[in-house]
Structure 1
Amino acid sequence: MYRGKRYNDAIALFHFFFNQSNIVPNIVSYNYLINTHCDESRVDVGLEIYRHIIATSPFSPSPVTYRHLTKGLIDAGRIGDAVDLLREMLNKGHGADFLVFNNLIKGFLNLENLDKANELFDEQVFGVDGVVNATFMDWFFNKGKEKEAMDSYRSLLDRQFRMIPATCNVLLEVLLKHDKKEAWALFEQILDNHTPPNTQAVNSETFNMMVNECFKLGKFGEAFDTFKKVGTNVKSKPFSMDVAGYNNIIARYCENGMLSEADELFRELSSKSLTPDVTTHRTLIDAYLNLERIDDALKIFNRMVDVGLRVVASFGDKVFTELIENGKAVDCAKILKKMGDKDPKPDASCYDVVIRGLCNEGELDPSLDILAEMVRYGID
């Protein structure tokens, strides 16, 4: 509910589970509740929940709690209160979380207070992390201070510490945002450092950013090469691409009308131990329908149902409607019947679309069969 920005529903569910039903919440549940209130500009309510955790819970607030609250306070223009909360975090012995520091550093930079940002940067006791450097770099770039930005970047690299993928990705994002060729050098470097199981230097998001940059520049062939790229170090190993990585490049190919390339990667993904998910199928179905490749859309839609992936009502209504408009009402009825054989059952709106389509085509017997199925399943 939180991710869907259905904040009132998120709060209601918390109340239902943890107040009415007497389930004991954990810190993750509390953090989502705090984040919900902060995103709704109710940071004081978030602080009340934080105080409630301290007073009544057998566990302590987590670093994530302080990340949400400091960001909420800064967004509300209360950076002084955010600094006080940072001090409270440290005084309680929770440890210095670099993302909490990063929130405050970014806040002071946005207030043009470079001295205070530097003071906090020097105060860090958690060691080196490129996320904070990336914040400074982005601010310097936006101010037209390229030398200072790159000095910050090089000082980070000079420390030669082992960066996790999340840190590398933030640095790549800033370098790409400001059109710096150093992004590609960093990509090559972290590919060289990718030596699992000892060192995981990249993840699928790393590849997604670089692939997307290739597409942005119109370098479609280079995008595929980047997707398959491996480090040159003798110990480097290929990254085992996940479904999210395949989905990204398939989506980029579809956006550019390159369906044959998307098809090839879909087949490759299907042949692996990975499984194409809802996003994979929806991306291809939408692309086929946009290009009026109706039979191909029908084929993938059939596959989506056959492998047991859920078809939500809004998507099902849209696809059924477009297929029926192209003379595929009977085929849609067959797909809907397969959907009805599984749980959760299709939404009533899907049945309505297909029955109307069958009636309009004079296919009354199949429409009666579908109607009987609705009755059998108790679908209104």
Structure 2
Amino acid sequence: MLEGFNKERMIEEAEALVESMKGDGIFTKLESYNTWLLGLVRNEKMLKARAVLQEMIDTGISPSIYSYNILMDGFCKEGMVSDAKLMMELMKSNGISPDAVTYSTLLHGYCQKGKIIEPNNILHEMTRIGSFPSTYRCNILLQSLWKEGKILEAENLLQKMNERGYSLHTVTYNIVIDGLCKSGKLDKAIEILDGMWNCCSW
């Protein structure tokens, strides 16, 4: 019922159900809290979601990495990237190591805000721990780098994608060519395009 209320954006009914379950002493499982957190985030109730996370901690229910990732995703979608970063720090302080989803969510959030230095730092950290964002996330970062004129950084990211055997999609090609052409580097665009054809299988 809680999940259904959340999906239908019936947030008042969902909250009444949660309070009823708490009164009956049956709202005690991590899964129930995660469902409630997801519903609050979907309905853009970030302050309430943060309060619920704190309630979990206070009542002895340890949030999982999924719990933290839910909130981080919500903060990033609301443009509250600093809050998402603080959430990751809270996660670490509670003994939970960020995973690929955590880093990718934060990377996406910074790119959406037009920030470039932070995503590069996140990418280096992901590489250091043996993780790497999806092609979709890389494409977002690539587009942001080209937009900000960070040509060398974009080429380095593209090289890392090639080294890791990523299948470069048409979307990736279009981002690269568009970025170089807008930067007045048509010769470089042709050179990279030729390199893509040589190194990638179709």
TM-score of the two chains, using structure 2 as the length reference = 0.68
Partner of 2:122: 300
Contact 1:330 1:366 in 2 (8 A): no
Unaligned runs of 5+ in 1: 1-133, 135-168, 195-200
Alpha-carbon separation, structure 2, partners of 1:348 and 1:218: 36
Query: CA offsets per residue over residues 61-116 of structure 1, 9 Å max, x none?
Result: xxxxxxxxxxxxxxxxxxxxxxxxxxxxxxxxxxxxxxxxxxxxxxxxxxxxxxxx
Which residue of 66, 81, 84 corresponds with 1:244? 66
1:183 matched to 2:18: yes
For the structure 1 residues 363 and 332, does the alpha-carbon distance in structure 2 shift closer, same or farther, using more than 3 Å as the test?
farther
- The CA deviation at 1:336 is 1.5
- The CA deviation at 1:298 is 3.7
For the structure 1 residues 231 and 303, does the alpha-carbon distance in structure 2 shift closer, same or farther, using more than 3 Å as the test?
closer
Q: Read off the aligned partner of 1:181 and give its amino acid letter.
A: A
Partner of 2:52: 226
Alpha-carbon separation, structure 1, partners of 2:57 and 2:104: 33
Alignment of 1:17-96 (within 5 A): none
Alignment of 1:144-159 (within 5 A): none
Stretch deviating more after TM superposition (283-292 or 256-265): 283-292
Tell me the matched-pair count.
195
Unaligned runs of 5+ in 2: none
Alignment of 1:306-321 (within 5 A): 307-312=130-135, 314-321=136-143
Contact 1:211 1:227 in 2 (8 A): no
What secondary structure does 1:181 align onto? helix
Alignment of 1:135-214 (within 5 A): 176=11, 178=13, 181-187=16-22, 189-190=25-26, 194=28, 201-203=29-31, 206-210=33-37, 212-213=39-40
Alpha-carbon separation, structure 1, partners of 2:122 and 2:134: 12
Query: CA offsets per residue over residues 143-202 of structure 1, 9 Å max, x none?
Result: xxxxxxxxxxxxxxxxxxxxxxxxxx55986995526535225247345xx5xxxxxx33
Partner of 2:110: 288
Contact 2:3 2:35 in 1 (8 A): no
Partner of 2:148: 326
Partner of 2:185: 362
For the structure 1 residues 378 and 180, does the alpha-carbon distance in structure 2 shift closer, same or farther, using more than 3 Å as the test?
closer
Relative contact order, higher structure (CA 8 A, sep 6+) = 2
What secondary structure does 1:178 align onto? helix
Alpha-carbon separation, structure 1, partners of 2:68 and 2:190: 38
Which residue of 346, 370, 375 corresponds with 2:167? 346
Contact 1:323 1:329 in 2 (8 A): yes
Bigger fraction of residues in helix: 2
Alpha-carbon separation, structure 1, partners of 2:57 and 2:192: 58
Q: Read off the aligned partner of 1:275 and give its amino acid letter.
A: P
TM-score of the two chains, using structure 1 as the length reference = 0.41
